[in-house]
Amino acid sequence: MHSSSPGTGLSQGAPTVGGDNESLAPKAVIEWLTGKANGYVSPDGDEKVTAFWSTGKVGMTGTSYNGTLPVAAATTGVKGLEAIIPVAPNTSYYHYYRSYGLVRNPGGYPGEDIDVLYDFIHSGDESKRARNNAVVRDKEMANGMDRITGDYNDFWAGRDYLNDIGPMKAALLMSHGFNDWNVMPEHSYRIYEAAKAKGLPVQIYYHQNGHGGPPPMKLMNRWFTRYLHGVQNGVENDPRAWIVRENDKPDEPTSYPDYPNPGASDVTFYLSAGAPGAGKLRPEPSAKQGTEKLIDNFSFSGSTLAEAEFTDHRLIYLTPALAEPLHISGKPRIKIKLASSKPAANLSVWLVSLPWNRGRNTKITDNIITRGWADPQNHRSLRESAPLVPGRFYEMSFELQPDDQLIRAGQQIGLMIFSSDREFTLHPDPGTVLTVDLDGTSLTLPVVGGRDAFKTVAD
């Protein structure tokens, strides 16, 4: 069946983009389906209607915003919601519009923030639009979203479903694309991990493409058959993780015991100087590498910077060419020590596979491994930022987006550090200088087989 979220379609109320009403609305529908709540023929009448055809066991699925709503409903712990299959859900609007304190837009939507999404989804009764705008968009959102500092605050905490997951009881089959740069793959991973920690039945399906993409019908059928119809098909004993390998079809995933791959362990890589060309990325530190500088200029795209042999607008560090494929599974992390010439600066990090492939048969997995962004002003806390003292060095650490990828033989893994990312960050005037202390900076990669596997394929 279909129901409309508040302020959309034929539903009353106002959209809040992750507010409590968007969780309580599907809860009410489910309670009607289970016979607990009354339903009526018309909004203002008293003629009741019953879901006589309902078994009282409910499942939910959908993609993007419609994948968020099953998560929202599940966090209420409503009785009768037995299983959900969210596809590319947005599980935190802070993580959608911010990254470690940095004001960041989803890919393809430069400058967008939560008030823009509110306008986009507000498709309900136009007579209620003015009041809804005044109360939600122009007051609550305008006062809470804070595009100045990008800090995490109570407004954003109230739109983070991870904070509400305590009552959740539904069996979770999660789906996402590793190259979804709209709703990024961390959104699914964070809820999957929390549901697993609660002891709920969980599986996760990841493919190598972009936004959207449900699990194969076979996986969905087995999930709903078990948890809606009560057929003991053994799905709870199936592998937890299903990953579509780089050259495989979306309906032919490879099974793994879990995600991240249990065989992965952290390997820390250190930087050797090379600017304005390429430095080295090695698992052994090279002492006294000093500092290297880059000059911010959003005019250059990330792909242009990654391909450049020499440029002052990024720093890049490369592993040796791989003799065999290398399997990365999990969330890379960067620890960085840097100084800015100005009180504020963007910080962008890409993990790339070089040489860059621009051929006719280029696949989405050929060039970008994963990415991450952060605000150095939030080096101490997501909730509290402070202007940088120009020239002073600060240390911070943050995770890149989760990934599971086989890096092809012949490629080099590149850590690229730059400032403004034209596709995702604000566009300040060019000229800010970032100075990176190489001896205080490192990259940690989750490598299947660990350090020994890397040394085998890269020595």
User: CATH number of the domain that 212 lies in?
Assistant: 3.40.50.1820
Asked whether residue 8 is domain-assigned, the answer is no
Same domain as 177, residue 99: yes
Check if 429 is active-site. Answer: no
Same domain as 247, residue 277: no
Are 422 and 298 in contact by the 8 Å Cβ rule? The answer is: yes
Residue finishing a domain among 221, 256, 291: 256
Same domain as 278, residue 163: no
Residue 402, pLDDT score? 98
Q: How many separate domains does the chain show?
A: 2
Check if 138 is active-site. Answer: no
Distance CA 350, CA 22 (A): 34
Same domain as 289, residue 229: no
Asked whether residue 2 is domain-assigned, the answer is no
Same domain as 163, residue 89: yes
Check if 180 is active-site. Answer: yes
The single residue of 164, 180, 404, 421 carrying the catalytic annotation is 180
Are 315 and 438 in contact by the 8 Å Cβ rule? The answer is: no
Same domain as 239, residue 272: no
Residue finishing a domain among 208, 233, 256: 256
Domain region containing 360: 264-458
Among 177, 152, 149, which Cα is nearest to 162's? 152
Asked whether residue 244 is domain-assigned, the answer is yes
Asked whether residue 12 is domain-assigned, the answer is no
Same domain as 277, residue 163: no
* DSSP state for residue 104 in the 8-state scheme: B
Distance CA 266, CA 330 (A): 9
Residue 360, pLDDT score? 76
Asked whether residue 310 is domain-assigned, the answer is yes
Same domain as 403, residue 279: yes
- Residue 302 CA, chain-centre distance (Å), reads 19
Are 18 and 39 in contact by the 8 Å Cβ rule? The answer is: no
Asked whether residue 6 is domain-assigned, the answer is no
Same domain as 251, residue 283: no
The single residue of 176, 211, 313, 379 carrying the catalytic annotation is 211
Residue finishing a domain among 219, 235, 256: 256
The single residue of 4, 11, 54, 64 carrying the catalytic annotation is 64
Q: How many CB atoms within 10 Å of residue 207? A: 25
Low-confidence ranges of the chain (pLDDT < 50): none
Are 67 and 88 in contact by the 8 Å Cβ rule? The answer is: yes
Are 5 and 60 in contact by the 8 Å Cβ rule? The answer is: no
Q: Is the dihedral of CA 420, 421, 424, 430 positive or negative?
A: positive
* 257-277 CB burial, b ≥16 within 10 A, e <16: eebbbeebbebebbbbbbbbe
Report the DSSP beta bridge partners of residue 293: 435
Same domain as 193, residue 318: no
Asked whether residue 9 is domain-assigned, the answer is no
Which CATH number belongs to the domain containing residue 384 in this structure?
Answer: 2.60.120.260
pTM, two decimal places: 0.96
Residue 364, pLDDT score? 82
Asked whether residue 342 is domain-assigned, the answer is yes
Are 459 and 319 in contact by the 8 Å Cβ rule? The answer is: no
Residue 80, pLDDT score? 97
148: which residues sit within 8 A by CB, 6+ positions away? none
Residue 423, pLDDT score? 96
Measured in degrees and rounded to the nearest 5, phi and psi for residue 293 equal: -120, 155
Residue 362, pLDDT score? 84
Distance CA 321, CA 268 (A): 17
Same domain as 441, residue 388: yes
Same domain as 342, residue 219: no
**Cis amide leading into 276 (omega within 30):** yes
